[in-house]
Chain A
Amino acid sequence: MIEVQDLTKKYGELTAVRNLSFKVEQGKIWGLLGPNAAGKTTTMRILTGYLPATEGKASVAGFDVFEQPNEVKKAIGYLPEVVPLYPEMTVAGFLGFVAEIKQIPAAKRKAAIDRVLKSATLEDVKGRLIKNISRGYKQRVGIAQAMIHDPQVLILDEPTIGLDPAQIKEIRELIRSLRGEHTIMLSTHILPEVTQVCDGAVIINEGRLMASGSLGELTATLQARDKKGGVVLRVRRDAAEAVGLFRQIPGVESAVAEADEVRLEWSRDRDLRDEVARLAVDQRLGLLEMRPAALNMEELYMKIVSGGLGQ
């Protein structure tokens, strides 16, 4: 539904997006995950036709973003990072204006407005001026305007930023409820948003693609790319004391005590499990448990953000 190929965007000297390629299938919710300034907003602006790309190709709903911008604009609903609202308009008045410029025929406009008021639960505030409603409502008006022409694709730039936890939950539920009917791409810099809402993600950092795929695939590919191997041990003796002993094994790069566990790391090209076990037994540490220390998604993401995980 969304296809990006070798997309590059330069602002003068600065390269915001480099050779980005990814695909989003129809009916899926896909996250565009990356730290601030990773190029998420730029990518979305290119997809929506707000900005031209320097190089590369992008297509949405089968239309080329650069060749058929109007067709693409009709197929996309877009919530920019800064929610585009006219403070002096009422909620319903604003949605009416958006319905007009999205070229919904006059006869269908009222039904379209009622539909999005209902699905974004805005009925209570529809007559109020936008400047007088809360941040959470404004965000929902933003999502409502994106959905008003029932687009095939929804592009939401940081839809939950600046909201309180209850509002974040509401917005996430709203987005989840749209799965299936719409293909959704949302950007975020927080991982839980992806794991809770999305089917998959494209992870970018400094404008480069780090990984993409469904949630399951992502963890697997990133783990495979992690250059560190290691184990987590539980021993009867004091963990802090054991750390000192494990450090003496040649090849162990780091040993840290985490609560009552010891985490050991070494380069992936070797396997020190034998040595570790032998030491634990020889020193009578009272080995209770030893398991491979696979990083979870959160840790993997942190590694990407800090630049510790290559492509």
Chain B
Amino acid sequence: MRNLWSIAKKELGLYFRSPVGYVVFFIFLLIWGFFFISAIRWFNDYSLQAAQNPYYAQQLNINQMVLAPTFQNITIFFLLLLPALTMRLFAEEKKLGTDELLYTSPLSVAQIVGGKYLASLIMLLVMLALSAVSCLFTFLYGNPEIAPLLLGYLGLFLMGAAFMAVGLFFSSLTESQVVAVIVPMGLNLMLYILSWAASSASGLRKDVLDYLSFLQHFDGLTRGILDTKDIVYFLSFCFFWLFLTHSVIQSRRWR
């Protein structure tokens, strides 16, 4: 555990010794703010209309009209952004030759993979924590429910963790950070939009596509529904890619 933390600490330090950490935080908060303000403005207009129409007024719900759309929109941006946090984790070690230092130190492969993944998860948590400031404003001027908000954040975290597990795997395959960022973007997007294909399919095919699609599992959480199926989906997805990463690093010993 101590070794795992040593690796994680080093990775966190490196995020902020290069511009990567700052740029990712800045761009994320900028885009988050844009989505959030757009949702608020739309909600504002809707509220004005609702003032004249009691039927509309019943439907006003800040969770469903501001927070859920913001969460859903930001996941699209996560697709593009999060691979930038994982791309260097292994690719750069290989390029610098520092992998030789790690693999000749008394560390297990699981500690190395785990430490690196933990660092990227902490970055994600900090990003989400920073974004939560905007949610606090909804409490000042409205009365949103806390449970769907927390579940929405849980969904964002799980989805981000899934994107980064894919990103970590491709970083372990290549020396090129460009490859390590582009391939996970494409793959994550494919998995994301599987639900579009599911909408035109039927029967078993639809069920399988639906189950594999990120969005399907994410939607429930933003609506405040905690289903273990969704949690299991994300956790097993992350575990699968981490296991593959572990195997890639370990395979150095089989060659």
Contacts and interface: CB of A to CB of B under 8 A. Distances in A.
B17 A89 contact: yes
B164 to A, nearest CB: 21
B106 A84 contact: no
A187 to B, nearest CB: 14
Among A74, A78, A97, max chain B CB count under 10 A is at A97
B102 interface: yes
A62 B101 CA distance: 22
10 contacts: A50-B103, A51-B252, A52-B254, A73-B104, A73-B105, A89-B14, A97-B10, A101-B3, A102-B105, A103-B3
B254 A84 contact: no
A103 B106 contact: yes
Contact of B98 (A50, A70, A85): A85
Interface of A: 11, 45, 48-52, 70, 73-74, 76, 78, 80, 82-89, 93, 97-98, 100-103, 145
A100 B8 CA distance: 12
Given A84-B96, A100-B6, A145 B254 contact: no
Interface of A is mostly: loop
Given A85-B96, A101-B107, A80 B101 contact: yes
Interface of B is mostly: helix
Contacts, number: 71
Interface of B: 2-3, 6-7, 9-10, 13-14, 17-18, 96-107, 252-255
Given A80-B97, A84-B96, A70 B6 contact: no
A63 to B, nearest CB: 12
Nearest to B102: A101
Contacts of A93: 13
Nearest to B3: A101
Contacts of A80: 97, 100-101, 104
A83 B107 contact: no
